[in-house]
Amino acid sequence: MRTDSTKNRSTNAEEYEPGERKEIEADGARRLRRRLRLRHIVFLGLAYMAPLAVFDTFGIVAETTDGRVPLAYIIIFAAVVVTALSYAKMSKYYPRAGSAYTYARETINPHVGFMVGWAATLDYLLLPMLNALLAAIYMGAVLPEVPSWIWVISTIVICTILNVVGVKLAAQVNVILVVVQLVVAAAFVFFAVRNIIVGAGGSELSLMPFDPSGVPTGALLGGASLLALSFLGFDAVTTMSEEAVRPTVDIPRAIIVIVISAGVFFVVVTYTMQVLFPDVSTVGDIVGASPEIAKYIGGAAFQALFVGGYMFAVLGCGLTQQMSAARLLYAMGRDGTLPERVFGRINRRSGVPVVNIVIIAVLASTAMFLDLESAASLINFGAYVAFGAVNLSLILATFKYLRPAGRIGVWAGYVLPGVGLVINVALWLSLDANAKIVGVVWALGGFVFLLVRTRAFRVSAPTMAEPELD
């Protein structure tokens, strides 16, 4: 789709990156084709988030918060909403394809921007690992006699093969992926509500899942810190600004629509689950609580449907996540941030960065040695760094360039992002200790690389490739 402003442009059919079509502007600059409207951006963001992620950490967070998962979701929802507003405002100020890295680079410092981008890169590299781990957890609930490593390897192998031979598949199934997940989740809520109405197991509507009394603040923050995993992906739509028909309007709207829709959905789903099982330990398998609850509310047939729908989502997300991570490594290799001979190469026959796809597959194989809580915390490490950086970027942009007058301007430019920054720092501090150690080691590696590359900060920071959403 194009607007009238594209009449003077000529289309170039050459593919400059795998799966990417670009245009030549009147001034000779290459630009991505502007084809995406609000509905496309929202669906892509929801597909990347994967709505069924609400079931991933329910058991662990229910145990950590003593049955207050909906309350924990409200806490993380507050942090994400405020951060989403900051993303929305920054995407207006920088309508070209951008991310936390771009905003930090432009408003704080290029070297700080590089470190933010380096930390956020860890998320994209490890998401396929988490995806494979979740596949093993869910399939293990149905077929416990099969070793979990078989499901991990099977998921990775399938996604790797499809990405090597079918790069376009992930983009083609995005809408179907979201629809299937929403249908499965709606069926789950229907069966859960039906069980609550008939009072199955003595269940009844209650405000207890929202009652913070008796639960330590640290436990609530610790549980909420894991739930950022459910929202990962809303920020990725900021990288689509160059492909949006109305980037300054639709990107901010899409961010808010995605976050609010997802937040309401997550709270409703977890409330029905928590009412049915105030004490999640009665389920038996804490980590695989959701498949067990599905069996309880709908029988073995619904459990099979639930797990089948989830596995469909796993494969769809795995395709997108693995290719996005591989393309990120390719971009870093092409730009010289990583060794070009290894990472900056495209297979001539398939047109995809095969070596990078295999590297991501190897990283994903570490799922065989991690538990869900550690894996989720590892990925959320970079997310909270990025979220905090965006809020700080908006504060500095407001101070340096905007200088708002009136209460509304001060509130939007200073107070809200300040609150978002504080909440995100608190949630980051509540992450698993091992995850923080690994994350800090990763950050130190990036700092050493930056120190050497910039000759002790005497030259400009290298360009950091931005994650892309197919």
What's the CATH code of the domain at 360?
A: 1.20.1740.10
- 324 vs 19: CA distance, rounded Å: 11
Task: State the pLDDT confidence band at 462, using cuts at 50, 70 and 90.
Answer: confident
Residue 26's pLDDT is what? 41
On whether the CB atoms of residues 357 and 163 are closer than 8 A, the answer is yes
Residue 64: CB partners within 8 Å, gap ≥ 6? 219, 222, 223, 226
* Owner of token pair 């003593």: 66
Asked if residue 16 is part of any domain, the answer here is: no
Query: What mean pLDDT comes out for the span 75-88?
Result: 91
Q: To the nearest whole number, what is the mean pLDDT of the chain?
A: 82
Burial class (CB in 10 A: 0-12, 13-18, 19+), 93: middle
Residue 175's pLDDT is what? 65
Is the per-residue pLDDT at 71 higher than 90? yes
Residue 243's pLDDT is what? 73
- 110 vs 101: CA distance, rounded Å: 9
Query: What mean pLDDT comes out for the span 244-257?
Result: 85
- Structural domains in the chain (count): 1
* Owner of token pair 């470190």: 115
Residue 442's pLDDT is what? 93
Residue 67, token pair as written in the block: 């049955």
Query: What mean pLDDT comes out for the span 263-285?
Result: 88
Residue 312's pLDDT is what? 79
- Phi/psi for 16 (5° steps) reads -85, -25
Q: What percent of the chain has pLDDT over 70?
A: 86
- 267 vs 77: CA distance, rounded Å: 9
Asked if residue 322 is part of any domain, the answer here is: yes
| pLDDT tens figures, 396-447 | 988 887 776 667 778 888 889 999 999 999 999 999 888 899 999 999 999 9
Query: What mean pLDDT comes out for the span 160-180?
Result: 67
3-state secondary structure of 24: strand
Asked if residue 470 is part of any domain, the answer here is: no
What are all long-range contacts of 293-296, with beta carbons under 8 Å and residues at least 24 apart? Answer: 293/192, 294/188, 294/191, 296/195
Asked if residue 9 is part of any domain, the answer here is: no
Task: State the pLDDT confidence band at 370, using cuts at 50, 70 and 90.
Answer: confident
Asked if residue 342 is part of any domain, the answer here is: yes
Residue 76's pLDDT is what? 93
Asked if residue 64 is part of any domain, the answer here is: yes
Residue 8's pLDDT is what? 36
Q: What percent of the chain has pLDDT over 90?
A: 26
Asked if residue 418 is part of any domain, the answer here is: yes
Greater pLDDT, 337 or 106: 106
**CA atoms 112, 100, 467, 321: torsion sign:** positive
Which pTM value belongs to this model?
0.79
| pLDDT tens figures, 44-53 | 777 767 777 7
Residue 19's pLDDT is what? 39
Greater pLDDT, 161 or 27: 161
3-state secondary structure of 36: strand
Percentage helix, strand, coil for the chain under 3-state DSSP, each rounded to 5: 75, 5, 25
Is the per-residue pLDDT at 218 higher than 60? yes
Residue 96's pLDDT is what? 66
Residue 10's pLDDT is what? 33
Q: Which domain holds residue 449?
A: 34-454
- Phi/psi for 94 (5° steps) reads -125, 75
Residue 88's pLDDT is what? 86
Is the per-residue pLDDT at 1 higher than 70? no
Query: What mean pLDDT comes out for the span 148-158?
Result: 92
3-state secondary structure of 30: strand
Residue 72's pLDDT is what? 94
Residue 387's pLDDT is what? 92
State the helix-helix crossing angle for 110-142 and 148-165, rounded to 10 degrees.
120
3-state secondary structure of 387: helix
Is the per-residue pLDDT at 470 higher than 60? no
Query: What mean pLDDT comes out for the span 352-370?
Result: 90
Choice among 153-157, 166-170, 385-389, 412-416 with the minimum mean pLDDT: 166-170
Asked if residue 385 is part of any domain, the answer here is: yes
| pLDDT tens figures, 184-201 | 888 998 999 899 988 887
Residue 2's pLDDT is what? 31
Is the per-residue pLDDT at 464 higher than 90? no
Please give the single-letter amino acid code of residue 362: V
- Adjacency order of strands within the sheet including 10-17: 10-17, 20-24, 30-32
